[in-house]
Amino acid sequence: MIPVRTCLWYESEAEEAARFYTSLVPGSAVEEVMRPAAEAPAVLVHFTLGGVPFSALNGGSSVAHTYAASVVLEAPDQVETDRLWQAILENDGKEVQCGWITDRWGVSWQIIPQGFQKLMFSADAEANQRAYQAMLKMIRLDLAAVRAAHEGKGGTA
């Protein structure tokens, strides 16, 4: 098997970002920090996020992250969705909408509660549309409101 990992580019904050990310998600760890010399800043950091391998590279120049690639976290419930969201927000993150948030380094995250996708893509197209319309009004996703909209009980956020 050929190992595969996603590499995220930072100007000089790769280690800080990797340590923050791994503090967010249970089952995560910084695996290896590579430095050209013992006291030198990290150049490459290998870490896992919920068991998924990533690398963080200090590329030395600023390269903007875009929404074209994002880290998706499917939280087990609304409480964990809210905790993850708040942790990124309190670390200089910026709320976007529809469950998207950008961290202080410009990396885009989608934080969704488990069960959300089933409400958006069920066999009932009208219910899906109601859920979708409710989601469009949200910043942080609210599973109860999306479920209520899906069931035709309102659901405006």
d(CA 80, CA 100): 15
Query: What confidence tens digit (pLDDT) does each residue in 44-91 have?
Result: 999 999 999 999 999 988 888 988 999 999 999 999 999 999 999 999
Domain boundaries, the chain: 1-61, 64-157
pLDDT for 10 beyond 80: yes
pLDDT of residue 61: 84
Q: Which tens digit of pLDDT belongs to each residue from 85-97?
A: 999 999 999 999 9
pLDDT for 97:
92
Structure tokens at 74: 């499917």
The arrangement of secondary structure in 1-61, i.e. its CATH architecture, is Roll (3.10)
Q: Which amino acid is at 132?
A: Y
Multiple choice CATH, 64-157, 3.10.180.10, 3.40.50.620, 3.40.190.10, 3.40.50.11270: 3.10.180.10
Across the chain, mean pLDDT equals 94
Can you give the three-state secondary structure of the chain, one letter per residue? CCCCCEEEEECCCHHHHHHHHHHHCCCCEEEEEECCCCCCCCCEEEEEECCEEEEEEECCCCCCCCCCCEEEEEECCHHHHHHHHHHHHHCCCEECCCCEEECCCCCEEEEEECCHHHHHCCCCHHHHHHHHHHHHCCCCCCHHHHHHHHCCCCCCC
Question: Which pLDDT value is given to residue 157?
Answer: 44
Q: Which of 121, 44, 111 is nearest to 78 (CA)?
A: 111
| CATH topology identical between 1-61 and 64-157 | yes
pTM of the model: 0.90
At 23, the pLDDT band (50, 70, 90 cuts) reads: very high
pLDDT tens profile 95-147: 999 999 999 999 999 999 999 999 999 999 999 999 999 999 999 999 999 99
User: For position 155, what pLDDT does the model report?
Assistant: 43
